[in-house]
Amino acid sequence: MNKGEVTQAIKGLIGKVSPASEWVTITQKQINDFADTTGDHQWIHVDIERCKKESPFGGPIAHGYLTMSIAGQVVKDVALERKFRQYAKMGVNYGVNKVRFPAPVKAGARVRGTAKVIEVTEGDNYIQVVREVTLESEGGKRPCCVAEQVSRIYF
């Protein structure tokens, strides 16, 4: 398929929601490693004993940006447009238009996600795909992350 055909095929996916991904566990070690990497050692993430006593969440929670970064891992296999990347040179993460964290993710929780293509535009040597990614934490009442991820598929 050429770029024009891929563009039209992906445009046909607009509004369709992928099946849910497999569950992924967010561990305390991942949270601690993220804190070390970013320098964000706020106690609600890394101080287990204090969290048990003082946190309204009953234990440590993942950083919002850690949760958002997990979105790439969680939805990579379920993004409906992924099957068209075989016709391209490469795909890159171009950014995020909007992100919200409606509910916390507790250490040890499992998350999964869905993806929905919401916009497709064509550039000179790329296709830009905006998808809404929604992550849920197992047993949660609200999503833990909703983000508009922007990807580019280069030809």
Q: How many CB atoms lie within 10 A of CB 25?
A: 11
Residues 79-93: what's their mean pLDDT? Answer: 88
Q: What are 1-16's pLDDT values in tens digits? A: 999 999 999 999 999 9
Task: Identify the CATH assignment for 3-154 out of 3.10.580.10, 3.30.70.3270, 3.10.129.10, 3.40.50.300.
Answer: 3.10.129.10
Distance CA 45, CA 53 (A): 13
Under DSSP, the state recorded for 108 is T
Task: Indicate whether 141 pLDDT > 90.
Answer: yes
Residues 30-37: what's their mean pLDDT? Answer: 98
Q: What are 106-139's pLDDT values in tens digits? A: 999 999 999 999 999 999 999 999 999 999 999 9
Note the pLDDT of residue 125: 95
